[in-house]
Amino acid sequence: MNTESFTELREKKQEMIQALRDGVPDGYYAIERKGSDISFIRITTIKNRRKKTGEIIYSQYPEGSWKIQTKHGDSLILRIVILPNGRWRYFCHSGVVQDLLSDLMAIVANWQDATQRYASELGKCGRCSADLTDAESRRLGVGPECVKHWPWVYDLAELRDEM
């Protein structure tokens, strides 16, 4: 890798970290790649305490790290962990990393559509990946429990319906 492409990659990674911090929520996303290939991605923020009890959960990564996983059928494969200090840990070869960076940039550019695409492609909630069982949940792209956490989906669905 030449110095120019290394610098470009480092800049892309810093943009990605800032965009994740600025508001891409934990969830499931679908991005269409060249051709008809669709990439299914899960982004989660590592939390080392249970929400309700405050119980400490063991994790080998510090709280606030992001896990980037790809979804293949019912399996999730860990691909990248982004640590709070900005360092990246890779669990795949460089070709997959390049594809994931492109996918992540597409998610950052329009994560609402990417989560809706996930829901429409798989019939699963874009927040938790549970099956969407009724027409309203499929229209919104999230289930009845998750819509409480993502109230913006009503506005997005209304905009889509008007188009």
Dihedral in degrees, nearest 10, Cα atoms 10, 14, 16, 21: 160
Over residues 116-134, the mean pLDDT reads 95
Structure token digits, residue 145: 């429990």
Whether the predicted pLDDT of 1 surpasses 60: no
Over residues 99-114, the mean pLDDT reads 89
Considering only 10-14, 44-48, 81-85, 159-163, which range has the smallest mean pLDDT?
Answer: 10-14
Over residues 63-88, the mean pLDDT reads 91
Q: What percent of the chain has pLDDT over 90?
A: 42
Q: Which helix (H) or strand (E) holds 128?
A: none
Rounded CA-CA distance 47/19 in Å is 19
Q: Looking at residue 4, what is its pLDDT?
A: 56
Mean pLDDT, rounded, of the chain: 86
Rounded CA-CA distance 137/153 in Å is 10
Which among 140, 146, 143, 152 is positioned nearest to 116, based on CA atoms? Answer: 140
Q: What pTM does this model have?
A: 0.85
Whether the predicted pLDDT of 24 surpasses 80: yes
Dihedral in degrees, nearest 10, Cα atoms 78, 79, 83, 85: 180
Whether the predicted pLDDT of 5 surpasses 80: no
Whether the predicted pLDDT of 75 surpasses 80: yes
